[in-house]
Amino acid sequence: MIAVGTKAPDFTLPDHLGRQISLAGLLGRRQVMLLFYPLDFTPT
């Protein structure tokens, strides 16, 4: 798992509402919480 204090790797991924989300595009103005999870249709 990525270590606290390191720079987060950038990514651009599509979302379920047709948006292209780029991490770099969000940062600067806001902080970001990433919720990684195993699979859809499983408990959250």
Partner 1 sequence: MPAVEALRERFEAAGTQVLGVSVDSIYCHANWACDLGGISFPLLADFHPKGKTAAAYGLYLEDNGITDRATVILSADGVVRFAESVGPGGERDIEALLARCEAIADEHGRPSWTPPARRLPAGATLYVKSRCGFSRAALLARSNLHLEQSIAIKNVTEDASACEELERIAGKSQAPCLVIDGQPKHESAEIIAMLVEATAPVPT
Contact residues: partner 1, CB under 8 A: 1-11, 13-41, 43-44
**In the bound complex, what is the minimum distance in angstroms from residue 3's beta carbon to partner 1?**
7
**In the bound complex, what is the minimum distance in angstroms from residue 16's beta carbon to partner 1?**
4
Contacts of residues 12-19 at CB distance under 8 Å and 24 or more positions apart, as own/partner, are none
CA distance linking residue 19 with residue 24, whole number of Å: 14
**In the bound complex, what is the minimum distance in angstroms from residue 43's beta carbon to partner 1?**
7
